[in-house]
Amino acid sequence: MAEATTATDVPTIELEGLAVQDVAQKVTPWDVEGPEVNGVKLAIDYDKLIVQFGTRRIDEAMLERFTKVTGHAPHLFLRRGIFFSHRELDVILDRHEQGKPFYLYTGRGPSRGHMHIGHMLPFVFCKWLQDVFDVPLVVQLTDDEKFLYKSDLKAEQTYQYAVDTVREIAAIGFKPEKTFIFSNMGFMGGAFYRNVLKISRCITYNMARSSFGYTETDHIGKIHFPSIQAAPAFCSTFPAIFGDRTDIPCLIPCGIDQDPYFRLTRDVAKPLKFKKPSLIHGQFLPALQGVTTKMSSSIDSSAIFMDDSPNVIKNKINKHAFSGGPTSLRELEEFGSNPDVDISYQYLTYFVDDDQEIADLAVSYRRGEITSGAMKKRCIEVLQKFVGDFQEREKAITQADVEDFMNPDYPRPFAALAKK
Ligand code: TRP
């Protein structure tokens, strides 16, 4: 990939007579790197991304409105700022209040092997949103994108990864009556392809290059791909669910790195006379090694995978989860520990719903009343349960279930929407 436009240049600063070149953070669909200051890697600055990308913070007022409109207390991902940013979430809440329909759209680039706990976040969140709003969810599996970006993979392989991914997504608890999961390679055609074409005619090479930083040696498959990720954001891509309606918008929960795709999607909505999608952006789950990098499938010791056994989870947390804490009991009692950098504590904030427990853990940890070993122990328990429950559900998913999710014509009771 070429330099993406989201990385900004930072000036060289003088430090005790030494010139140190800081490195800006970089967040693109292909690369997520925190900033580097004085040679030290720092955590991703999400406030800065809001400014750079021009999105809005999900603030208290928005959460209050959410509660008022849905009658539900916000999910812990919202309460704790894990899904922290949005584009026009208010439009979706207004519609819901007025009894007007919308749908959810998310996706995943399928890869070999199981997902890790970080990959679960948007799906766990979608499941909760679907339960709260009772709306259809469409899930795009970008086996085509994987094929285009990984020159060592065969098309047949990435398609198979997509089918395997359906099992995993199903195991989060979705139902085929409400959820359509499709592989781009499998589903392309008909209304989907017509929308891809309409979109592609609205995006010039210059627009795509300034969003994604393509260079002249990038093959044309990459350059065309954004039209394919954009198409499911428009309801006319799914006539089996929405009939011939073109006026039902979607809400897209996604990692903030996917925002460039949907900025472009929002730009083409107007000329096509489609509804602009709304977005809700999530942060990345940190790697076991610390808050400065995100969990990555390609580094086994950085991640907890959804097929890890209880023992593997225990060993990974004990061995790799960064604590950054005091090195002796005396130091612990005197200075306490820092939950902001302690990975076990950080993970607990994603997976424990009880606000009181989370608050108490932080306070006691800072005071030195809890050891990092005890924090790890609690984290191990919680993740063993999260992963174990998932594995139980996954065992129960059959081939027939997978086919139902992937069947565009599976009876989905939202057909009533098509008639309004
Ligand atoms: N490009 C995304 C990935 O590689 C997959 C994706 C497709 C997606 N459509 C989406 C993610 C919509 C979020 C929302 O993971």
Q: Give distance in angstroms: CA of 259 to centre of ligand 1.
A: 10
**How much is the average pLDDT of 140-162?**
97
Question: Which of 161, 165, 258, 295 has most ligand 1 atoms within 8 Å of CB, for mutation?
Answer: 258
Whether 248 and 277 have beta carbons less than 8 Å apart is answered as no
Out of 27-36, 183-192, 387-396, pick the least confident: 27-36
Q: Give distance in angstroms: CA of 140 to centre of ligand 1.
A: 7
Question: Which of 140, 192, 195, 228 has most ligand 1 atoms within 8 Å of CB, for mutation?
Answer: 140
Q: CA 406, 388, 316, 374 torsion: positive or negative?
A: positive
Which pLDDT score, from 0 to 100, does residue 194 have?
98
**How much is the average pLDDT of 16-37?**
78
- Of 27-31, 45-49, 413-417, where does the model show the most confidence? 45-49
Could you identify the atom of ligand 1 that is nearest to the CA of residue 253?
14
Token duo for residue 154:
């065969």
What does the alpha-carbon distance between residue 251 and residue 130 come to, in Å, rounded to a whole number? 11
Helices (H), 184-309: 184-187, 190-200, 205-212, 220-230, 239-242, 259-272
Q: Which of 277, 282, 252 is nearest to 78 (CA)?
A: 282
Residue with the nearest Cα to atom 14 of ligand 1? 106
Q: Which of 68, 72, 62, 138 is nearest to 103 (CA)?
A: 138
Q: Which residue has the tokens 């300034």?
A: 210
Could you identify the atom of ligand 1 that is nearest to the CA of residue 232?
9
Strand 250-255 and strand 290-294: the pairing is unpaired
Ligand 1 is surrounded, with C-beta below 6 A, by 29, 105-109, 140, 142, 145, 229, 252, 254, 258
Strand 40-41 and strand 56-57: the pairing is unpaired
Please report, as a single letter, which amino acid is at residue 343.
I
Question: Which of 261, 285, 297 has most ligand 1 atoms within 8 Å of CB, for mutation?
Answer: 261
**DSSP letter (8 states) at residue 236:** G
Residue 104 three-state SS: strand
Burial of 217 (0-12, 13-18, 19+ CB in 10 A): exposed
Which pLDDT score, from 0 to 100, does residue 15 have?
47
Q: Give distance in angstroms: CA of 222 to centre of ligand 1.
A: 14
Q: Give distance in angstroms: CA of 75 to centre of ligand 1.
A: 22
Residue with the nearest Cα to atom 4 of ligand 1? 109
**DSSP letter (8 states) at residue 255:** E
What does the alpha-carbon distance between residue 306 and residue 108 come to, in Å, rounded to a whole number? 15
* Cα 232 from chain centroid (whole Å): 16
Residue 192 pLDDT greater than 90, yes or no: yes
Burial of 12 (0-12, 13-18, 19+ CB in 10 A): exposed
Whether 232 and 138 have beta carbons less than 8 Å apart is answered as yes
Give the pLDDT confidence of 112-143 residue by residue, as tens digits.
989 999 999 999 999 999 999 999 999 999 99
Token duo for residue 130:
């679907």
Residue with the nearest Cα to atom 6 of ligand 1? 107
Please report, as a single letter, which amino acid is at residue 7.
A
Whether 29 and 50 have beta carbons less than 8 Å apart is answered as no
Give the pLDDT confidence of 325-346 residue by residue, as tens digits.
777 777 777 777 899 999 999 9
pLDDT band, residue 416 (cuts 50/70/90): low
Q: Give distance in angstroms: CA of 401 to centre of ligand 1.
A: 22
Whether 23 and 35 have beta carbons less than 8 Å apart is answered as yes
Which pLDDT score, from 0 to 100, does residue 310 have?
98
Average pLDDT of the chain to the nearest whole number: 92
Give the pLDDT confidence of 228-286 residue by residue, as tens digits.
999 999 999 999 999 999 999 999 999 999 999 999 999 999 999 999 999 999 999 99
**Cβ atoms within 10 Å, residue 392:** 10
Q: Give distance in angstroms: CA of 161 to centre of ligand 1.
A: 15
Q: Give distance in angstroms: CA of 360 to centre of ligand 1.
A: 36
Q: Give distance in angstroms: CA of 315 to centre of ligand 1.
A: 31
Strand 36-37 and strand 56-57: the pairing is unpaired
Could you identify the atom of ligand 1 that is nearest to the CA of residue 122?
13
Token duo for residue 289:
């090694």
pTM for the full predicted model: 0.93
**How much is the average pLDDT of 44-52?**
94
% pLDDT > 70, the chain: 94
Residues in the chain: 420
Helices (H), 273-371: 310-320, 329-335, 343-351, 355-366
What does the alpha-carbon distance between residue 34 and residue 39 come to, in Å, rounded to a whole number? 12
pLDDT band, residue 20 (cuts 50/70/90): low
Residue with the nearest Cα to atom 8 of ligand 1? 107
**How much is the average pLDDT of 135-155?**
97
Q: Give distance in angstroms: CA of 245 to centre of ligand 1.
A: 24
Strand 250-255 and strand 278-282: the pairing is parallel
Q: How many CA atoms lie within 13 A of 203 on its CB side?
A: 29
Which pLDDT score, from 0 to 100, does residue 327 have?
74
Out of 302-306, 347-351, 376-380, 415-419, pick the least confident: 415-419
Out of 8-12, 138-142, 207-211, 358-362, pick the least confident: 8-12
Question: Which of 126, 229, 280, 296 has most ligand 1 atoms within 8 Å of CB, for mutation?
Answer: 229
Residues β-bridged to residue 386: none
